[in-house]
Amino acid sequence: MYRLIYTGLFALTLLASGCTSGSRPGEIAVIPQPARMTVGQRSFRIGAGDIRTRIDTGRVSNPEGYRLTVGPEGAEVVGGGEAGVFYGLQTLEQIKDPEGYVPEIEIEDAPRFPWRGMHLDVSRHFFPKEFIKRYIDILAYHRINVFHWHLTDGIGWRIAIDRYPLLAERAAWRRVKDPKAPWIGLELSDRSRRDSADTYGGYYTKEEVREIVAYARERHITVVPEIEMPGHSEAATFAYPEYACPTAQPGSGIYCPGNDSTFVFLQQIIDEVLDLFPDSPYLHIGGDEVGKEQWHACPLCQARMRAEGLRDEHELQSYFIRRIESHINSKGRAMIGFDEILEGGLAPNATVMSWTGFEGGVRAANAGHDAVMVPLYYVYFDHYQGQNPCEPQAWGGYNGLPRVYSFDPVPPEVEPDKRHHILGGQANIWTENIRTPEHVEYMLLPRLAALSETLWTDTAAKDWGRFGRKMDRQFDRYAAQGWNYAESALTPFVAEQHFNGNGELVVRLAAELSGYPIRYTLDGSVPTERSDLYADSIVVREPATLTAATFRGGRPAGCLLQVPGLLNRATRAAVLYAAPYSAPHTGGGDTALVDNRYAFKRGDDRAWQGFRETDMNLTLDLGSEQPVAGVWIRFFQHLSTTSVMLPTRLTVWTSADGVNFAVSADRAVDPEEDSEAVIRPFDLRFPAPVAARFVRIRATNRKTLPEGHPRAGGAAWLFADEVAVY
């Protein structure tokens, strides 16, 4: 019935032998980390019949808390409520080894925050009921207790409303101009057109919504519905244009608060929605990113402002939100909205969901309102989680696993006696770039594990190093469930590089989750288990392509790191610019293009060197005459969100004396239609090698942004990160 767990000396031996991946023996790999845990020496096989559960509010005060005891009599879970029992059983499952053994243990545990949220945008792309249930399963596994269901937005209205059937039936847009996704460049669609061409269609029937709410309830998750207003409502104002300002274009996407019937419309929708979500104390009304121009131009809105003594459109927004709030309150529910609901004065009972940063939540809490923290630069899971070019197109910034883990919903600016107003935190997944369930899971996992621990475990008990070791087991659990998790945190990257005194390039590698072997080659071949093991640096002495991979369980994990052109003929050449590069995108200065540093697929990566409206026109002095066979150069383009375009033409001249130059390569560049971020390498091989000391390169700038670009007619930029001469 029991066996000894080897601790102490054995653990030290393992560490000394360099095997640091995975849990240390004796370390219990529970995510999220329990508040208090005492582990004994023995372990016991625990079958289904050996587990007793009960609720005892006298022993466990938090309804989500539990005590778990494993001993010779089996396992006992005492919960402060049903949720506590549920979480206690999850912990028991996690500490069980594959043969069913559990260490002798005593755990006392309860969450730090009552709001542990996860959001999903089903408007930009629709996800069917079956996937929503699977999503809820994943959330429950991570002790998320709020599912914020973003049911409406510009692209589509995803919930059936009996009184206004066109919302769901007609307002799944085929094409829409969405402020968050201008590149989609879509137009309005009705159902008949949608059937033929639309991949954005779909909505949940009321029966499906009830089924999902019940499914979530069984897993101790409250579904908080979101009905966006007054903005992000293109779909709705397309179906029912009478509730937009009369002066606005059809499908303008902003409701008219000058029109009383707008409030009747929204209140009737709210009543039907609240009826479907009996468990949710809240209705989320969005409230974010509302352009005020339409209200400024609308006679009804202007009349409303005069009648109500509102000084500006921000106060009109506040009027709108307060009126909606009083209706929600009259139904016994509370309103929550994004931090823009603070504009023009916060509604009396509102809870603020702070997404643009922490500030909105801090202001709300210090003013005595509840707040939930969802700051985009920590917990927007539609942002990148890895810097390797293998990562799928993502939105916004870089929220890797350590970044998410470092999130603390209670910043020091919250006054000590107001901290209880921070209900917790949440991560959001907006789906402009995410079309499939597999992709949603990839963005969610493993970052949800970091969120889970950060929202459940007290700060003092958090430990990134231990969390990283626990992730080894967590990956296996994900694999066993068949969930599509990302290994981005295992992918190696160049952490630092410099030239040493001998002119050699010293490269240091890292991965966010350390402790796994990284193997590399310098000849461009894919590393195998027999390739060189990375220790603390790689010294590159001759031209090389560095290729590195992290190995986990005997196979490469994550993506390959590939760094081409190390120590090529241009490395550390003098670069003479005929026209200067343009601030602020200097790439780091005159050596940026020849420093063997490569940029990430984002316009704000500082390794990009930019040229605004001008051609890139520079001459490399290689220092001595050499046989030159060609030039390799990389450019960036990201049509949807930047003014950076590929060049239209690339020309290379060579010269032995720096005076007489001859054309060695010249080619037009086909435009790249893809609106997503692209890094395009160009290999300009000469017809035959040329003896040259000077290499002149011109990349012709498009100069003006073309038709169809969100800023058509504006100045175009060129972005390059590296030039190699071979």
The residues annotated with a catalytic role in the active site are 153, 232, 289
Least distance between ligand ACM and beta carbon 383 (Å): 11
Least distance between Zn ion and beta carbon 229 (Å): 13
Least distance between ligand ACM and beta carbon 9 (Å): 52
Site string for Zn ion, 546-585 (x = CB under 5 A): ----------------------------------------
Element (H, E) at 497: strand 493-499
359 part of the interface to ligand ACM, by CB under 6 A:
no
298 part of the interface to Zn ion, by CB under 5 A:
yes
Closer residue to Zn ion (CB): 66 or 265? 265
Work out what residue 301 binds among ligand ACM, Zn ion, none; the CB cut-off runs from 5 to 8 Å by kind.
Answer: Zn ion
289 part of the interface to ligand ACM, by CB under 6 A:
yes
234 part of the interface to ligand ACM, by CB under 6 A:
no
Residues 6+ away with beta carbon under 8 Å from 538: 506, 507, 508, 509, 520, 522, 546
Full 3-state SS string of 111-179: CCCCEEEEEEECCCCCCCHHHHHHHHHHHHHCCCCEEEEECECCCEECECCCCCCHHHHHCECCCCCEC
Residue that has been written with the tokens 């990257």 in this structure:
493
157 part of the interface to ligand ACM, by CB under 6 A:
no
Binding residue for ligand ACM, selected from 101, 243, 263, 355, defined by CB under 6 A: 355
Output the residue with the shortest Cβ distance to ligand ACM. Answer: 288
Least distance between Zn ion and beta carbon 164 (Å): 19
CB crowding 48-87: b at 16 or more within 10 Å, else e: eebbebebeeeebebbbbbbbbbeeebbbbbbbbebbbbb
Residues 6+ away with beta carbon under 8 Å from 437: 127, 131, 134
370 part of the interface to ligand ACM, by CB under 6 A:
no
In this structure, what DSSP letter does residue 348 have?
T
Partners of 226 in the β-ladder? 150, 284
How far, CA to CA in Å, does 85 sit from each of 145, 395, 475, 644?
14, 38, 25, 54
Work out what residue 60 binds among ligand ACM, Zn ion, none; the CB cut-off runs from 5 to 8 Å by kind.
Answer: none
Both tokens of 429, joined, read 């997944």
Q: What is the spatial distance between Cα 473 and Cα 616, in angstroms, rounded to a whole number?
A: 50
358 part of the interface to ligand ACM, by CB under 6 A:
no
Cα 289 → chain centroid: 19
Work out what residue 338 binds among ligand ACM, Zn ion, none; the CB cut-off runs from 5 to 8 Å by kind.
Answer: ligand ACM
258 part of the interface to Zn ion, by CB under 5 A:
yes
Binding residue for Zn ion, selected from 300, 579, 656, 679, defined by CB under 5 A: 300
288 part of the interface to ligand ACM, by CB under 6 A:
yes
Q: What are phi and psi of 221, to 5 degrees?
A: -120, 130
Q: What is the three-class DSSP state of 469?
A: helix
Q: What is the spatial distance between Cα 433 and Cα 595, in angstroms, rounded to a whole number?
A: 33
Least distance between ligand ACM and beta carbon 213 (Å): 23
Work out what residue 239 binds among Zn ion, ligand ACM, none; the CB cut-off runs from 5 to 8 Å by kind.
Answer: none
How far, CA to CA in Å, does 259 sit from each of 242, 300, 301?
9, 6, 8
Closer residue to Zn ion (CB): 136 or 301? 301
Work out what residue 84 binds among ligand ACM, Zn ion, none; the CB cut-off runs from 5 to 8 Å by kind.
Answer: none
338 part of the interface to ligand ACM, by CB under 6 A:
yes
Q: What are phi and psi of 240, to 5 degrees?
A: -130, 75
Q: What is the three-class DSSP state of 252?
A: coil
Work out what residue 359 binds among ligand ACM, Zn ion, none; the CB cut-off runs from 5 to 8 Å by kind.
Answer: none
Number of residues binding to ligand ACM, judged by CB under 6 A: 4
Interface of this chain with Zn ion, residues 238 to 257, rule: CB under 5 A: 245, 256
51 part of the interface to Zn ion, by CB under 5 A:
no
Q: Cα torsion at 471, 475, 480, 481 (round to 10°)?
A: 90
Closer residue to ligand ACM (CB): 288 or 512? 288
**Which residues are near Zn ion by CB under 5 A?**
245, 256, 258, 298, 300-301
**Which residues are near ligand ACM by CB under 6 A?**
288-289, 338, 355
